[in-house]
Amino acid sequence: NAGVTQTPKFRVLKTGQSMTLLCAQDMNHEYMYWYRQDPGMGLRLIHYSVGEGTTAKGEVPDGYNVSRLKKQNFLLGLESAAPSQTSVYFCASSPHRSITGDEQYFGPGTRLTVT
Residue numbers of the site for other proteins (CB under 8 A)? 4, 31, 33, 35, 40-45, 48, 50, 56, 58-59, 90, 92, 94, 96, 100-109
Nearer to other proteins, 77 or 109 (CB): 109
CB of residue 16 to other proteins, shortest distance in Å? 28
Amino acid at 75: L
CB atoms closer than 10 angstroms to residue 48 = 21
CA distance 88 to 108: 10
Nearer to other proteins, 54 or 115 (CB): 54
